[in-house]
Amino acid sequence: MITEAALTVDLAIILLSATLAGFVAKQTGQPTIIAYILVGIVIGPAALGLVEVGELTELLSELGLAFLLFLLGIKMRIDEIQHVLSPIVKISIPQMIAIFLAGAGVAFALGFGPVESFLIGLAVIYSSTAVVIKMLNDNDEATSLHGKVDVGVLLVQDIVVVIILAVLAAGQPDDLAEVATTLGVVLVLVALVTIAALAASRTVLPRLFRRIADNKEVFFLVALSWAFLFVFVSDNINLFLAPLGIEAYLSIEMGAFMAGVAIAQLSSSKELQDRINPLTDLFVMVFFVSVALDLEAAQLLAYWQEAIVAALVLIPIKFLVFMYLLDWQGFDTETTFLGSIHMIQVSEFGIIVIAVAQTAGFVDAEVLGFVTLLAIFTMAVSVYFIEFRHPLFDRFEPTLSRVTSEGTFETSTREYRDHAVVVGYDDMTRNALPILADRYEDIVVIDRRVDHIDTLEADGYDAVYGDARKATIRKDAALKRADLVLSSSADPAVNKALLREVGDETAVFLEADRVQDARDLYDSGAHCVLMTAYLSGNKLAEYLRAYLDETEALEASIDDDVELLRSEKSIPDIHLLGGEPDE
């Protein structure tokens, strides 16, 4: 029978202490991940013993991981990473092999057994997606060349981690042949899931999401439904394969990731990122806190000296390996340096790999403690290096350019600069587009209707699907470097956000419903705030006067307006005046 379900105290403690630690970390410039892990250590059995892993915390941390990979999947737009794809693959494969050897070697030298060293090697090859992407986003460098290369390499690493997780989770193998079989089955399953996801992204999903894209709530929940479908199938894969006599395992992370990749290829994916992000933040927090909740102090600190030594060895090795490989691929000195310095830490996935290995009985909890410490330590150090990357580069540039070769890599995409940004495609902004097109090379239009996006793209504009209330969407338009911003949103919140993010020289045209809003917007730096209701009210009154005076001018103006009405077809199938924008 049902009983009064009191909300768990555990979760409240986790939430409150993580928040507290998060704020402290923010003030001291540490990444929040570190704070969360430390909180787990402090409130967990290792120190205070306030909290144990309960059913709800377990769920949320599982969801955190699944959502993190789903989110990562959503970011995998194949057309966006295509031009750096070849160098990325050429960098990441040798990098992983080199770091694996270094990591396993260091572990072995520090006295770990062969299996342990092997797994530690596997655990340290990834750089931290959470740290790197967060730092890139914070510094607005995600779309820079080194940002793209780093993101690409991280994605390749993530695919590898997913496969490794699947193999590890299958449990203790009896012999090499079994490992091979497991690997084979996993690869086939991964391939099948990939094919299913990509097939869906070409067939069902575009139609489905086009239909629901205009309802934000439904859109979001159906996307989650899609993700959970993959999570569920991956998790219960044995159930489906049992009749065939095959035993296999697919990680829920793999499922979530592929579900995300399928959605990534749709134009609405950007919007979804922003919707998933907050949930992911919340759940991933629980995940990081619960990482250490299973660890006793003794287990965590069993190898603390080894962890420090390993960190001190691995950080420079990672840096040098990346330097060498990026230089080999012909990137210029600065890109090489910046691309490398971001990637020197050990990833949270390393902890997951070892955690799964521990669950499967390959290693002891102490090894998990070792890798956890290693990850915490390298992440903390790397954050400082990333923070001071520019002074460091200036300092070492002369030395570096002597050892690195000339940059030969041509970047094919350019960044927006001195462009125009238009928020909202409607009766008001539509007529302004051709005029802007005469003047600007790039015009970015943000709109949240799929049919508008199609029209805009057909007319040669850069269209961003999404809600301008979302930070990611605004970021995509590179407001800071825009020469002109035009918004037909009457929402003061959106317009204020735009004003905060534009550059000093940007001319800003906005819309407002109320005089007070308009005044606020002018105070915040807007150049022109259109007030549709007042404008048309004045116009209408003007017409009425002319009508009452029975002047001829009225007929002319009315004909004019009617002409304007008739001259253009209504929005979805409109062809703009003034021809195509210049390319």
Cβ proximity to another protein, 408 vs 567, nearer residue: 567
Contacts of another protein in 317-346 (CB under 8 A): none
Q: What are phi and psi of 465, to 5 degrees?
A: -85, 125
Q: Which of residues 65-124 bind another protein (CB under 8 A)?
A: none
Query: Judged by CB under 8 A, which stretch of 116-124, 173-181, 394-402, 557-565 contacts another protein?
Result: 557-565
Site membership for another protein, residue 360 (CB under 8 A): no
Distances (CA, A) of 486 to 9, 445, 463, 568: 49, 9, 14, 21
Nearest to 342 by CA among 137, 480, 163, 156: 137
The verdict on 396 binding another protein (CB under 8 A) reads: no
CB of 435 to another protein, least distance (A): 6
Q: List the one residue out of 315, 313, 326, 254 whose CA is nearest residue 94.
A: 326
- According to DSSP, the residues that pair with 463 across neighbouring strands are 445
The SS3 assignment for 579 reads: coil
191 lines the binding site for another protein (CB under 8 A)? no
Short-list 563, 145, 95, CA closest to 319: 95
Q: Does residue 209 contact residue 242 with C-beta atoms inside 8 Å?
A: no
* Residue 454: CB minimum distance to another protein, A: 18
Region 427-446 residues binding another protein, contact defined as CB under 8 A: 427-432, 435-436, 439
Site string for another protein, 250-269 (x = CB under 8 A): --x-----------------
CB of 534 to another protein, least distance (A): 5
Binding to another protein in span 457-476, by CB under 8 A: 469-471
Task: Quote the CA–CA distance of 148 and 146 in Å, as a whole number.
Answer: 5
Q: Measuring CA to CA, how many Å separate 175 from each of 115, 163, 181, 357, 508?
A: 13, 19, 10, 16, 68
Our finding on whether 42 is near another protein (CB under 8 A) is no
For position 553 contacting another protein by CB under 8 A, the verdict is: no
How does DSSP classify residue 528?
Answer: E
How many residues touch another protein (CB under 8 A)?
122
User: Using CB under 8 A, which of the segments 44-52, 332-340, 369-377, 426-434 binds another protein?
Assistant: 426-434
Quick check: 575 binds another protein (CB under 8 A)?
no
Smallest gap from Cβ 515 to another protein, in A, equals: 5
Say how far apart CA 433 and CA 425 lie, in whole Å. Answer: 9
Quick one: tokens of 541?
């009154």
Position 155 contacts another protein (CB under 8 A)? no
Measured from the CB atom, is 82 or 551 closer to another protein? 551
Amino acid (one-letter) located at 7: L
55 makes contact with another protein (CB under 8 A): yes
Smallest distance, Å, CB 381 to another protein? 21
Any idea what DSSP says for residue 568? S
Sign of CA dihedral 76, 80, 81, 86: positive
Cβ closest to another protein, residue 51 vs residue 344: 51
Query: Is 512 in contact with 529 (CB distance < 8 Å)?
Result: yes
Q: x/- site string to another protein, residues 209 to 238, per CB under 8 A?
A: --xx--x-xx-xxx-xxxxxx-xx--xx--
Q: Does 452 bind another protein (CB under 8 A)?
A: no
* Helices and strands, counts by H and E, the chain: 28, 6
Sorted by sequence, the CB contacts under 8 Å of residue 106 that are 6+ apart come out as 309, 310, 313, 314
For the bound state, the minimum distance from the C-beta of residue 150 to another protein, rounded and expressed in Å, comes to: 20
Collect all residues with Cβ–Cβ distance below 8 Å to 191 and sequence separation of at least 6: none
- Kindly state whether residue 357 participates in binding another protein, applying the rule CB under 8 A: no
Residue 169: CB minimum distance to another protein, A:
11
* Residue number with CB closer to another protein (274 or 296): 274
Rule CB under 8 A: say whether 547 interacts with another protein. Answer: yes
Nearer to another protein by Cβ, of 306 and 459: the residue is 459
Which member of 188, 515, 553, 556 binds another protein (CB under 8 A)? 515
Cβ at position 293, least distance to another protein in Å: 15
Q: In sequence order, what are the residues at sequence separation of 6 or more whose Cβ sits closer than 8 angstroms to the Cβ of residue 164?
A: 122, 353
Using the contact rule CB under 8 A, the part of the chain among 92-100, 327-335, 397-405, 422-430 near another protein is: 422-430
**Residues 418 and 481: beta-carbon distance below 8 Å:** yes
Q: Is there binding between residue 7 and another protein (CB under 8 A)?
A: yes
Least distance (Å) from another protein to the CB of residue 539? 5
- The residue range among 83-91, 95-103, 359-367, 488-496 that interacts with another protein, by the rule CB under 8 A, is 488-496
Cβ–Cβ under 8 Å, residues 429 and 488: yes
Query: Which listed residue (242, 395, 564, 582) binds another protein by CB under 8 A?
Result: 564
Nearer to another protein, 5 or 176 (CB): 5
Rounded CA gap, 79 and 148, in Å?
Answer: 12
For another protein, which residue of 274, 387, 441, 462 counts as binding (CB under 8 A)? 274
Question: Which is nearer to another protein, 132 or 494 (by Cβ)?
Answer: 494
- Crossing angle for the helix pair 176-202 and 145-169, to the nearest 10 degrees: 130
Give 465's strand partners.
Answer: 447
